[in-house]
């Protein structure tokens, strides 16, 4: 949170988020007197002066940052999770990954073709799609490469760099099942190709069971039309599946009985395994969590009370438990889960904690309703090998030094 610079410095204590303890506060009566004596600020700006679309306060500076080889995907930008509140990511801070830039698409000219193994091939305009019954769901979206730079050693200096390729929005659109039923899908159809209308022509094979389960074509995010970089005017949403499959600028769906083995499926988004095989079609982003505050790059302001706060999520279902350790993994406490706790959605957790001022390491691990428990790096290496890139969901450790400095460590 940006430092508050009101004209009365004593009021700052009320405004500061998070870390300050209340020791330095004046008595309520003294403050009440000061506030009453202050002259009014006079008239502020109106929305007519400020522009009709809302702006943030000039004191709020949180922003996405560029990912790089060390910290995240190239051509991507990372969400500042360290400043996040609740479970929703503001649209302007949603992480973004593109393989060929963000196209400018006029929605009045955009069309969605659905063809292949269907009774009726169809082309839908955006107007056509708006006429279908709408659905809205809170869902996280995570790039399979979230934390790829962390695989062999801790490198990110903040949680934005280690985990910033996950975000959570309320998405609105049409259930894919409804659209496919409208066309009549051949009973032998097992796969669906989704293609984006960007320079990269991103194409991914989606299993038909998922298309008929909770997949959607979405045109809105957090109550307004999609942001250009999130796929305006239309994107595919395959909840819980790796980010790459959520094809943006969606303009074509082809129904088939086989997967396509497209470029992205066999190169970037396939995972080398310890047995020298390659795992392709690794869909679900498995359960993961991270403490967002306090986290690397922050500094604790002396011993005392802190609320540990973070996010848990699972592409396979709902978070049932997040445990936090404040003593290097020796003992674990159950964190509070903030309502609503929804499937395939970020879940905010918290734990009250009093720091004794001694050096320690804090971490979180989550469990989902399939019984899956977030692994340690050692456990993950056994399953996925020591030099993977995608699907890093290991437990994240933050080291707290005696001076309160927090850094990214492995153990």
Ligand X SMILES: Nc1nc2c(c(=O)[nH]1)N[C@H]1C(S)=C(S)[C@@H](COP(=O)(O)O)O[C@H]1N2
Residue ranges in contact with ligand X by CB under 6 A: 94-99, 141, 143, 196, 198, 200, 202, 229-230, 243-244, 246-249
User: Is residue 143 part of the contact set for Mo ion (CB under 5 A)?
Assistant: yes
Q: How far is the CB of 217 from ligand X (least distance, A)?
A: 13
Q: Which of 233, 239, 243, 294 binds Mo ion (CB under 5 A)?
A: 243
CB of 97 to ligand X, least distance (A): 4
Interface mask toward Mo ion for 88-107; x: CB under 5 A: ---------x----------
Of these partners, Mo ion, ligand X, none, which one is at the site of residue 141 (CB under 5 to 8 Å by kind)?
A: ligand X
Q: Check: CB of residue 211 under 8 Å from CB of residue 85.
A: no
Q: Which residues pair with 351 in a beta bridge?
A: 308
Which of residues 19 and 237 has its CB atom nearest to ligand X in the complex?
A: 237
CB of 340 to Mo ion, least distance (A): 26
Q: Does residue 244 touch Mo ion according to CB under 5 A?
A: yes
Contact 369, 320 (CB under 8 A): yes
Residues that contact Mo ion, how many (by CB under 5 A): 4
Contact of residue 380 among Mo ion, ligand X, none (CB under 5-8 Å per partner type): none
Q: What sign has the CA pseudo-torsion 148, 153, 155, 156?
A: positive
Residue among 117 and 141 whose Cβ is closer to ligand X: 141
> Minimum CB separation from ligand X for residue 89, in Å?
9
Task: Report residue 253: phi and psi, to 5°.
Answer: -130, 125
Considering only CA atoms, which of 396, 157, 90 is closest in space to residue 297? Answer: 157
Q: According to the binding rule CB under 5 A, does residue 78 interact with Mo ion?
A: no
Contact 169, 345 (CB under 8 A): no
Residue with tokens 């009709």, as numbered in its chain: 52
Q: Is 87 helix (H, G, I), strand (E, B) or coil?
A: coil
Taking CB under 5 A as the binding criterion, the range among 87-95, 138-146, 166-174, 294-302 that sits at the site for Mo ion is 138-146
Q: How far is the CB of 69 from Mo ion (least distance, A)?
A: 15
99 vs 210, beta carbon nearer ligand X: 99
Q: Is 156 an interacting residue with respect to Mo ion (CB under 5 A)?
A: no
Residue 185 or 247 having the CB closest to ligand X: 247
DSSP 315-384: TTS-EEEEEEESSTTSS-EEPEEPSP--TTS-EEEEEEEEE-SS-EEEEEEEEETT--BPPPHHHHHHHH
Element (H, E) at 210: helix 208-211
Query: Judged by CB, which is closer to Mo ion: 344, or 365?
Result: 344
DSSP 8-class letter at 267: T
**Rounded distance between C-alpha atoms, residue 42 and residue 50, angstroms:** 17
Identify which of residues 244 and 374 has a Cβ nearer to ligand X in the complex: 244
C-alpha distances in Å from residue 99, one per residue of 87, 107, 220, 244 = 27, 21, 22, 10
Q: CA 399, CA 326: separation in Å to the nearest integer?
A: 10
**Nearer residue to Mo ion within complex by CB, 242 or 323:** 242
Task: Give the tokens for residue 342.
Answer: 């929804």
**Residue 74: helix, strand or coil by DSSP?**
coil
Asked if residue 231 binds Mo ion (CB under 5 A), the reply is no
Which residues contact Mo ion (rule: CB under 5 A)? 97, 143, 243-244
């Amino acid at each position: 949170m940006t430092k508050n610079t009101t004209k009365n410095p004593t009021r700052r204590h009320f405004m500061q988020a998070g870390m300050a303890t209340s020791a330095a506060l004046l008595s309520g009566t003294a403050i009440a007197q000061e506030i009453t004596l202050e002259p009014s600020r006079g008239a502020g700006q109106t929305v007519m002066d400020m522009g009709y679309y809302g702006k943030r306060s000039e004191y709020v500076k949180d922003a996405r940052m560029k990912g790089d080889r060390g910290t995240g995907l190239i051509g991507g930008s990372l969400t500042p999770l360290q400043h996040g509140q609740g479970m929703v990511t503001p649209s302007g801070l949603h992480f973004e990954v593109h393989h060929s830039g963000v196209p400018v698409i006029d929605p009045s000219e955009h069309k969605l073709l659905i063809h292949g193994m269907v009774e009726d091939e169809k082309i839908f305009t955006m107007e056509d799609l708006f006429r279908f019954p709408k659905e809205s769901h809170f869902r996280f979206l995570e790039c399979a490469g979230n934390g790829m730079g962390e695989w062999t050693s801790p490198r990110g200096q903040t949680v934005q760099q280690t985990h910033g390729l996950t975000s959570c929005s309320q998405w609105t659109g049409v259930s894919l099942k409804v659209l496919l039923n409208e066309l009549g899908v051949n009973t032998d159809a097992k796969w669906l190709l989704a293609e984006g209308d960007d320079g990269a022509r991103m194409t991914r094979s989606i299993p038909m069971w998922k298309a008929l389960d909770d997949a959607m074509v979405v045109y809105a995010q957090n109550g307004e039309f999609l942001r250009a970089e999130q796929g305006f005017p239309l994107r595919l949403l395959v909840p819980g599946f790796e980010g790459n499959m959520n094809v943006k600028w969606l303009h074509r769906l082809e129904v088939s009985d086989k997967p396509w083995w497209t470029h992205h499926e066999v190169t970037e988004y396939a995972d080398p395994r310890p047995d020298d095989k390659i795992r392709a079609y690794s869909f679900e982003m498995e359960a993961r969590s991270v403490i967002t505050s306090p986290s690397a790059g922050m500094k604790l302001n002396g011993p005392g009370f802190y609320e540990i706060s973070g996010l848990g999520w699972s592409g396979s279902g709902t978070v049932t438990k997040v445990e936090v350790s404040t003593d290097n993994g020796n003992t674990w406490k159950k964190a509070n889960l903030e309502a609503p706790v929804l499937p395939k959605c970020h879940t905010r957790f918290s734990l009250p904690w009093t720091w004794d001022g001694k050096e320690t390491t804090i971490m979180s691990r989550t469990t989902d309703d399939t019984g899956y428990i977030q692994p340690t790096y050692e456990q993950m290496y056994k399953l996925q090998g020591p030099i993977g890139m995608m699907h890093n969901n290991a437990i994240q450790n933050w080291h707290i030094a005696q001076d309160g400095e927090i850094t990214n460590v492995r153990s």
